[in-house]
Amino acid sequence: MVELAPNVWRLPLLPLGAVNAYLVGDTVVDAGTVWTERRFFTELAGRPLSAHVLTHAHPDHQGATAALCVARDIPLWCGAGDLAAAESADFSAAWGERRRRPLFRLAARLGGPGQPVARALREGDRVADFEVIETPGHTPGHIALWREADRVVILGDVASYRNPLALSPGLREPSRLVTRDPRENRRSIQKIAALRPRLVCFGHGPPLLDGERFVLWAEHLGT
């Protein structure tokens, strides 16, 4: 576990930051895959916890969610648009295109069972000392967490800093194969860039300490 900023810790669950979870104060953000559950629990051992938040309900982010909530007796919170997927663990439910549904059935092997959601998060809600920013596109209810005081953002999968499959470094948009609405996701990237973050924390890849680089990258994406 690595402290990135006051009361913000990164939990790298796979080598090269291929999959990350975070701890903000006593709130856990994301939970990796079922394959990283043991390391996830080891990282959190001895830490007091009050809640668990999902940036979005995809199997590489909620793998240990149910296990964590049950073992530590804490509530699950997620974006309102992802509530059904988080509770059912049916990651294909939001997809209209039949050709992509088998992909999510396969990906579901990375995820854990569904878990009841105690709180549906919306724009402006507070999580520890962070503000919820609605960032739909990758999933309907994707959220990011923003702390204005020191301009830290926990981005989920709005963008990544390392391809989680090829492990190649660099800023990139999420794969269209697993993104519900790429154009809407690009608008979410630009929404975050408009905040001019200083530190950008990704679901996949190491943190970006030069937030201006993220801003310039977002500006060059266009609409």
CB 59 within 8 A of CB 86: no
pLDDT at 17: 84
pLDDT at 97: 58
In CATH, the architecture of 2-221 is: 4-Layer Sandwich (3.60)
Tens of pLDDT, residue by residue over 61-113, are: 999 999 999 999 999 999 999 999 999 998 876 665 555 667 666 677 788 99
pLDDT at 94: 65
CA pair distance 7, 23, nearest whole angstrom: 8
Q: Which residues contact 205 (CB under 8 A, 6 or more apart)?
A: 17, 18, 20, 160, 161, 162, 169
Domain positions in the chain = 2-221
Tens of pLDDT, residue by residue over 166-196, are: 566 789 999 888 899 999 999 999 999 999 9
Strands 27-29 and 51-54: parallel
The angle that helices 65-72 and 37-44 make with each other, rounded to 10 degrees, is 40
Tens of pLDDT, residue by residue over 5-49, are: 999 999 999 988 899 999 999 999 999 999 999 999 999 999 999
